[in-house]
A and B are shown apart, each in its own frame.
Chain A
Amino acid sequence: MEAGRRARTGGLLLGLAALAATASAASPASAEAVAEARQVVVETVQSVLGILRDRALSDDDKRQRIEQVAYQRFDFPTVSRLVLARNWRRLTPRQREEFTQEFKQHLSLTYGKNVERYADEDVAVDQARAESNGDVTVRTRVLGGAAEAYLVDYRLRRGGGEWGIIDVIVEGVSLLQNFRTQTQELIQDVGPEGLIEKLRKKNEARSASAGG
């Protein structure tokens, strides 16, 4: 898989920085948008790595700051809608609000957990491409961990003038799709209220363990 990708992009493996500069030209009309979205990913990665590497910060401070970055960079209302998809209609306005809140906390906690797992990995931001519906996907590689390097793609959407992350795709696995499958099956089994309850309990348990 790696081999195919790299050979076809025609480059020597390590010359990927050069790729980033050329590959964003998706279509002339959106080249600027693609560059903008890519810049958002570059800034997000930089601020997260900056926090993780800051020795003056305690783990709790780091976690809090990274959760703040998540709050700022993810488009939670859109993600919540896309996760629930058609099930959105089954939720009352109050349940929608609750789900969005709990889901937001769930994702941010997950993001903040990077603090405990961080093992000096580096992140390279590579190409970006325009999707047909106006979204932009940006490819990054996580390098230098114990496991082999892996690909993380971020899909962004412009809403209210700002680019927000709506999906994270790890080695071909879309987390949005993954959450959607989980929530769909849970709603079938225990209904919307059961799903929200389950998320809430999970968040409470995790916040407690993260705090202490």
Chain B
Amino acid sequence: MSRTWTRLGGALGALLLLGGCLSPPPGPDGRVDPDPLQGSNRAVFGFNEGVDRWVLNPLAEGWEFVTPKQLRVALDKAFFNLGFLDRFFSNLGQGKPKYAGTETLRFLVNTTLGLAGLFDPASRFGIPRTDEDFGQMFAVWGLGSGPYWVLPLFGPSNPRDAWGLLFDSALNPVSNPATGLVVPGLGLLATVNRRAILDPQIESLRESSVDLYVAVRDGYRQRREAQIADRDFEEERALDGPSDDLYEVPEDLEDSPQDEGGIPGDGEPASRRGGS
């Protein structure tokens, strides 16, 4: 695990230095390529899918076979509870001392009454959990995400979130490589347990997508934007949807299919469109 980390650190450093230069310029048609690293990203994505298929998912299935659901849910809560410091500091760093406070309260309550976090009485007492991390904090500071970047083993990310992940992992005993020396396999157990819990969602995504790679990329982007913006239900109204034209049917949609001249945003130049 820690060797992976060292290597990842090196790669990260290099990429972060390049981060500024990698921000994609708009193309000739004014559109920004959502995925300039697509070639290598798809390769790494394929690798991660392979790891999941041959290693992680079999482990998760075995784990599911030998443990009751309640235990998996409780363990997942306990691992989440251990991520307290990460959420505490990223809340503080975003100027949300109040939520840093509720996180502290949650940690105290759940670690004691909740038996090391296996249970979540804090939620029952009306102390809500927050879902903050260093990638979000950097975004709030004004750091751009940079290009979509699929990390080996860690999955969908971008230079900003990968940088955040370093801090997240250092602050979380479950993923901190040093913990591995004291409690070997803790990080692996947390990962396998989480994989088992999320299995329905992962399976559903695989089945319901026509291009899983693109579905994951777009889902990651949307999810991160929602987490960073932290809008409540009423605030979303002003936004009126994830993108301006998402819910508008273009006026002249019923036109004959033959006219496909230079409509802005109509897609790629004819040369790139494959024949059918």
CB pair A1–B131 under 8 Å, yes or no, is yes
Number of CB contacts from chain A to chain B under 8 A: 191
A13-B126, A91-B257 are known contacts. Are A167 and B200 too (CB-CB below 8 A)?
no
CB pair A117–B246 under 8 Å, yes or no, is no
Shortest CB–CB separation between residue B126 and chain A, in angstroms? 5
> Of A6, A78, A192, which one neighbours B249 at CB under 8 angstroms?
A78
How distant is the Cα of A132 from the Cα of B241 in the complex, in angstroms?
A: 10
Residue A69, interface by CB 8 Å? no
CB pair A3–B129 under 8 Å, yes or no, is yes
How distant is the Cα of A169 from the Cα of B246 in the complex, in angstroms?
A: 12
> Of B232, B248, B249, which one neighbours A9 at CB under 8 angstroms?
B232
CB pair A86–B234 under 8 Å, yes or no, is no
Instruction: Point out the residues of chain A lying under 8 angstroms from B203, CB to CB.
Output: 117
CB pair A202–B204 under 8 Å, yes or no, is no
> Of B207, B257, B274, which one neighbours A189 at CB under 8 angstroms?
B274
CB pair B207–A85 under 8 Å, yes or no, is no
> Of B73, B208, B255, B276, which one neighbours A192 at CB under 8 angstroms?
B276
Q: Is the interface of B mostly helix, strand, loop or mixed?
A: loop
Instruction: Point out the residues of chain B lying under 8 angstroms from A86, CB to CB.
Output: 250, 263, 265-267
CB pair A89–B265 under 8 Å, yes or no, is no
> Of A6, A7, A166, A181, which one neighbours B247 at CB under 8 angstroms?
A166
CB pair B227–A172 under 8 Å, yes or no, is yes
Specify the chain B residue showing the minimal Cβ separation from A205.
B207
CB pair B227–A82 under 8 Å, yes or no, is no
How distant is the Cα of A92 from the Cα of B205 in the complex, in angstroms?
A: 29
Q: How many residues of A contact B (CB 8 A)?
A: 80
A1-B227, A5-B232, A13-B123 are known contacts. Are A174 and B257 too (CB-CB below 8 A)?
no
CB pair B257–A93 under 8 Å, yes or no, is yes
How distant is the Cα of A161 from the Cα of B233 in the complex, in angstroms?
A: 26
> Of A110, A113, A173, A183, which one neighbours B219 at CB under 8 angstroms?
A173
CB pair A186–B240 under 8 Å, yes or no, is no
A117-B204, A146-B72, A146-B197 are known contacts. Are A185 and B211 too (CB-CB below 8 A)?
yes
How distant is the Cα of A6 from the Cα of B123 in the complex, in angstroms?
A: 12
CB pair A90–B260 under 8 Å, yes or no, is yes
Residue A57, interface by CB 8 Å? no
Instruction: Point out the residues of chain B lying under 8 angstroms from A4, CB to CB.
Output: 96, 99, 130, 230, 232
Shortest CB–CB separation between residue B194 and chain A, in angstroms? 9
> Of A87, A109, A146, which one neighbours B73 at CB under 8 angstroms?
A146
Shortest CB–CB separation between residue B156 and chain A, in angstroms? 12
> Of B201, B248, B253, which one neighbours A133 at CB under 8 angstroms?
B248
> Of B102, B218, B227, B259, which one neighbours A89 at CB under 8 angstroms?
B259
Residue B23, interface by CB 8 Å? no
Instruction: Point out the residues of chain A lying under 8 angstroms from B204, CB to CB.
Output: 110, 113, 117
CB pair B246–A172 under 8 Å, yes or no, is no
Residue A29, interface by CB 8 Å? no
Instruction: Point out the residues of chain A lying under 8 angstroms from B219, CB to CB.
Output: 173, 178
CB pair B218–A3 under 8 Å, yes or no, is no
Residue A65, interface by CB 8 Å? no
CB pair B242–A129 under 8 Å, yes or no, is no
CB pair A182–B209 under 8 Å, yes or no, is yes
Residue B225, interface by CB 8 Å? yes
Other 19 A-B pairs with CB < 8 A, given A89-B263, A171-B223, A172-B227: A3-B128, A5-B232, A5-B233, A9-B233, A23-B234, A78-B249, A81-B253, A85-B250, A106-B208, A117-B200, A137-B236, A145-B200, A173-B222, A177-B222, A181-B214, A181-B218, A182-B209, A186-B211, A186-B214
Counting from the closest, the 8 A-B pairs by CB-CB distance are: A172-B226, A193-B276, A191-B276, A5-B232, A181-B218, A117-B200, A110-B208, A3-B130
In the complex, 28 of the A-B residue pairs with CB atoms within 8 angstroms, ordered by the A residue number, are A1-B131, A2-B131, A12-B126, A85-B245, A86-B265, A86-B267, A89-B253, A92-B257, A110-B204, A117-B200, A119-B200, A129-B234, A132-B240, A133-B247, A133-B248, A137-B237, A139-B233, A146-B197, A167-B247, A171-B223, A173-B219, A174-B222, A174-B241, A181-B215, A185-B211, A192-B276, A198-B210, A199-B210
